[in-house]
Amino acid sequence: MTTIKQKITPNLWFDRQAEEAAKFYTSIFKNSKIGKIIHASKAGFEIHGLPEGTVMTIEFEIEGQKFIALNGGPLFKFTPAVSFLVACNTKEEVDAVWGRLSEGGTALMELGEYPFSEKYGWTQDGYGLSWQVMFMGDRKMKQKITPTLMFVGEQWGKAEAAINFYTSVFNNAEIGDTLLYGKGEEPDKEGTIKHASFTLEHQGFAAMDSARKHNFTFNEAISFMVECGTQEEIDYYWEKFTADGGQESVCGWLKDQFGVSWQVAPTILGEMLQDHDKEKVERVTNAFLKMKKFDIGELKKVYEGEQQTNNIVKS
């Protein structure tokens, strides 16, 4: 497996447990570390509710793949609509990873032998985040941890359309192996996706349909952050994701037509929020909290003190 520069980063919403969770996950997997930490400033307290100096976001890597944990509060809870598949070389590795991830959690599919793997299990960990742990056998592993989208309820049967859409939006994208439901595999419909792999910007993802009754769907607890270097990039992804029924939100957040949450964010924002000048950080924070789609030019002006933040509202 080769390490690639990530364009798309899973963003995980925790109820004030982001730092604790990041340390837990990095303790389980090899090639893991804690990365950049952004602390809350005085600005925006009425929105985020975090005392000044506490952790707002914390980046971490597990198996060389970057994640961001956010102290977002109790508003959103993880659901199995998005899970992370861990590809294991040996059955012993499955046992070890499963043992840690299932501590204080709930098994959704008990660890055991299945037609598609000699050793596999699906669990929600103690924080509610869903993991699939699988012995890969002779199958080649291109990526250790794969975000997997499950289309249920109103989104059931839309996995193929979603894959086609995502691979049309991103560069360096392709559809991989696809396994369809066959005749008689009720309640699922023949021809819908049992499991499909695809890549976006050389990063692996997977998708599946499930017609079974589920009391969950996609929500903001897991979003995918697309880091953009230019305003043109931000405009491009914002337009693509909000088309055909997508929904704008605030601070660069949106939902696409399938209900999956994304963040379209300028790379420079993270650098600004780590500045040692508290006044600059507060100005930028006050500005971006009022924006929907991020405006890099406005952020730069506010950062340099060239513009007031009172009336900045971007759509």
Angle at the Cα of 89 from the Cα atoms of 84 and 93, rounded to 5 degrees:
75
Q: Mind listing the pLDDT tens digit for each residue in 101-123?
A: 999 999 999 999 999 999 999 99
Q: Identify the CATH number of the domain in which residue 124 sits.
A: 3.30.720.100
239 lies in some domain: yes
Regarding predicted confidence, which is higher, 29 or 51?
A: 29
Its domain, for residue 90, covers 80-217
Percent of all residues in the chain with a pLDDT value above 70, rounded to a whole number: 96
Domain boundary among 217, 246, 268: 217
Residues 94 and 199 in one domain: yes
- Whole-angstrom distance, CA of residue 105 vs CA of residue 124: 5
Q: Are residues 38 and 139 in the same domain?
A: no
Task: Report the relative pairing of strands 55-62 and 65-71 from DSSP bridges.
Answer: antiparallel
The token pair that represents 202 in the structure block:
């050389």
Measuring CA to CA, how many Å separate 238 from each of 212, 242, 271?
A: 32, 6, 21
Of 170, 164, 233, the residue nearest 202 (C-alpha): 170
Contacts of residue 245, Cβ cutoff 8 Å, sequence gap at least 6: 257
- CATH assignment of the domain containing 239: 3.10.180.10
Describe the strand order of the beta sheet including 82-88 as a list of residue ranges: 106-114, 117-124, 130-135, 82-88, 145-151, 203-209, 193-200, 174-180
Q: Is the pTM of this model over 0.85?
A: yes
For 229-259, write each residue's pLDDT tens digit.
999 999 999 999 999 999 999 999 999 999 9
The residues, ordered by sequence, that sit 6+ positions from 304 with a Cβ below 8 Å of its Cβ are none
Q: What is the mean pLDDT of the chain?
A: 92
Residue 133 shares a structural domain with residue 164: yes
**Pick from 217, 249, 272: which residue ends a domain?**
217
Give the chain's domain count: 2
Does 222 reside within a domain? no
- Choose among 65, 46, 49: nearest CA to 15: 49
